[in-house]
Amino acid sequence: MHHPIVRAVGLWLLFALATPVLAADGGLTLEQIAKLRAVSQVSIGPDGRHVAYVLSVPRQIGEGDDGPAWAELHVASREGASRGFVTGKVNVSGVDWLPDGRSLAYLAKRQGDDTRRLYRIPVDGGESVAVATLKSDITAFSLSPDGRRAALLASEPESDELKALKKKGFTQKVHEEDWRPVQLWIADVGADAPAPHLVELEGSVQSVQWSPAGDRLALLVARRQLTDDTLVFTRVRIVSPEGRELGRVDNPGKVGGLSWSPDGAHLAFVSAQDEHDAQQGRLFVVGRDGGAWRDLLPGLEGHVVDVAWRDAGSLQFISHEGVHARLGEVGVDGGNARTLLSAQGPVWNAFDRSSGGDLALVGSTPAHPSEAFLLAAGTTAPSRLTDSNPWLADVRLARQEVIRYPARDGLEIEGLLVHPLERRGNARVPLITVVHGGPESHYVNGWLSAYSQPVQHAAAKGYAVFLPNYRSSTGRGVEFSKKGFGRPGMEEFDDVVDGVDHLVASGLVDRDRVGITGGSYGGYASAWGATYYSERFAASVMFVGISDQASLVTTGDIPWEQHLVHMGTWPWEDPELFRKTSPITYAQQSKTPTLILHGEADPRVPVMQSYMFYRHLKLAGQAPVRLVLYPGEGHGNARAASRYDYSLRLMRWMDHYLKGPGGEPPPYAVEYALPVAAEGKK
């Protein structure tokens, strides 16, 4: 399935120093973006003395085996002294403390393991010991209150007969029928423990939380292990450890995290408001047996992203509000709401709470990616525990600013503007517009640079970068996130263009040198910018994007999600809506040079969307177009080499058409700055 025009012929053509050098003006390089580390999870010990965290460590480009980033286990003291516990070529997840605070439990596939196992490691020294193993990878776990048992989730294992057939070449797949459910197992985690036992349940389990009372488990259960079902048809179920149903919650749509109150009397969960709400973000509470729920933050103009109980009568939560994040508290009855950390400073994404009230948080700022922080009990200012990229202190970063502007219908739109690192007087500068996916997503005023949006690198090269939170974005409540329901693109992408006009009117941006890029729904916006709004954009880079709405519904893996929370109808019911919201409809008017990139194994937005868009633009013949495919990659690139290649192609396309000669596209082969050591591996 390798496409001939994207075979990387330049992999070994150019070798540079092993350590990336700073850009000439001191800004961030693409090679530095590729090596950024970030904290992805924190878990604080019961006594608050230590914070365990998972550190994402990208692979070094051109050295060793290619692949996604590694995930290491580290532990930091309250004072910030940190050391690695499980490091190197590992992928750790699901870190949690045992109740005595002396050991950590985590999931990993260690050297020699056939499947992902549950491990325990002492915090004061000692080796990891496997405490639970199943015939398939353990994907999640929850410890019982006494730490003696663990509830485990793992896909139903393949039969020995099926494995034998696959070895003989019978590897066919039966679409949407040969799925295997995620099962619930209960395992003793002590020495000489018996084998885990299966809890018989109907459906496929997505999440599990053991009640502090020890008598029940809260589950998120989908009817099938298909993406659509897990997204929009997952429901809360409460069962005994033996599998007897004790209660249920018919939550109204998408659902997120679960959290039991310390006394086990209440269960909190984050849910959508209704089946047409695109994103879970309401904070609901029910009794221990489920039933009717109570919205603790009605009318919140934001989205709750994490929750933990302070005590039996109150909860603490993180809500994203606009481009900021707030740490708040509210009573179980919805009263006594207050703010603990205002919506300024670091943008918090997750937190964990010790029994004494200390909070460990994950947060980023415009100056650094996600790090671990500690908010000690009784204090009001969190302290930073980790510095995962100390070399960033020597890199000049451009100014990042929150901007607001009126859309053409008067609706206020918020976004982020990253100024060019250097600007000659009042000279107008080129602009790269980066549109987020979803649209149930939003940009926050934290760290923004990544392989698919190298924001600070672009700023170092003299670009302004605009990241709009157009209508339908999250972070501003349900009403705002529903404003594009039944009208995809349309006013949403008008908001993007109105933001560009705002920046042009401010005197910053050169109207004739504006580019647009984004992935998924942002790729849809990039295709829209290259066609419907072609006269406004001098370059477009579309990544895993939508070009034809009707065929997306019938070939992608989330037709019901698209129907319930985006379109509100089917192609055969309103073919005109699907036609007029598809970029291919306007391909004949495109004069925008367009680079299209897509993972060949993408199930969400199948690669045919890019094939179709490429062919429509190619046949229109009015502007350069190039299609680049990534074998084995899905809805976004995971491997280090694919990410680096993407970054290079994105910036080269923008440079060529916004700052360079334009005309015919640059050569399709890319020259990579790889370590000298790779030269002998040609």
The pLDDT tens digits for 532-554 are: 999 999 999 999 999 999 999 99
The pLDDT of residue 598 is: 98
pLDDT band at 192 (very low <50, low <70, confident <90, very high): confident
What global pTM score does this model have? Answer: 0.93
In a domain, 555, yes or no: yes
Check whether 21 has a pLDDT greater than 50: no
Q: Is the dihedral of CA 640, 641, 642, 644 positive or negative?
A: positive
310-324 mean pLDDT: 97
Q: Which helix (H) or strand (E) holds 349?
A: strand 347-353
Cα(99)–Cα(189) distance, rounded to whole angstroms? Answer: 13
Q: Is 435 within the bounds of a domain?
A: yes
Task: Note whether residue 523 is domain-resident.
Answer: yes
Q: Enter the tokens of residue 657.
A: 């058409």
Domain count, the chain: 1
| Residues in a beta bridge with 404 | 414
Encoding tokens for residue 477?
A: 């409540």
Residue 518 near residue 525 (C-beta atoms within 8 A): yes
Question: Is residue 542 in some structural domain?
Answer: yes
**Is the predicted pLDDT of residue 8 greater than 60, yes or no?**
no
Using the predicted structure, report yes or no on whether residue 389 has a pLDDT greater than 90. yes
Give the residue among 36, 163, 33, 141 at the shortest CA–CA distance from 97: 141
Residue 315's pLDDT band (cuts 50, 70, 90): very high
Looking at the domain assignment, is residue 127 inside a domain?
A: no
Buried b vs exposed e over 635-663: b needs ≥16 C-beta within 10 Å?
Answer: bbbebbbbbbbbbbbbbbbbbbbbbeeee
Asked whether residue 43 carries a pLDDT value surpassing 50, the answer given is yes
Question: Residue 676 — very low, low, confident or very high, per pLDDT cuts 50/70/90?
Answer: low
Mean pLDDT for 590-610 is: 97
pLDDT computed for residue 4 by the predictor: 27
**Average pLDDT of the chain to the nearest whole number:** 93
Distances (CA, A) of 584 to 329, 527, 528, 551, 610: 48, 8, 9, 11, 10
Flag whether 118 is in a domain: no
Is the per-residue pLDDT at 9 higher than 80? no
Would you place residue 125 in the very low, low, confident or very high pLDDT band (cuts 50, 70, 90)?
Answer: confident
Tell whether 64 is covered by a domain. Answer: no
Cα distances (Å, whole numbers) of residue 497 to 184, 466, 542, 651, 659: 49, 11, 16, 21, 20
Residues 6+ apart with CB under 8 A from 372: 39, 42, 51, 53, 76, 360, 361, 362, 384, 385, 386
Is 192 domain-assigned?
A: no
Under the banding of pLDDT at 50, 70 and 90, the label for residue 80 is confident
Lateral strand order in the sheet of 290-295: 204-210, 217-222, 234-239, 245-249, 290-295, 282-287, 266-271, 255-260
- Between CA 102 and CA 106 the distance in angstroms is 14
Instruction: Encode pLDDT of 205-251 as tens digits.
Output: 999 999 999 999 999 999 999 999 999 999 999 999 999 999 999 99
The domain of 643 spans 392-674
Whether the per-residue pLDDT at 525 is higher than 80: the answer is yes
Could you tell me the CATH number of the domain that includes residue 492?
3.40.50.1820
pLDDT per position as a tens digit, 151-187: 999 999 999 999 999 999 999 999 999 999 999 999 9
Mean pLDDT over 343-358 rounds to 94
Residues 560 and 228 sit within 8 Å (Cβ to Cβ): yes
Which pLDDT band, with edges at 50, 70 and 90, does 26 fall under? confident
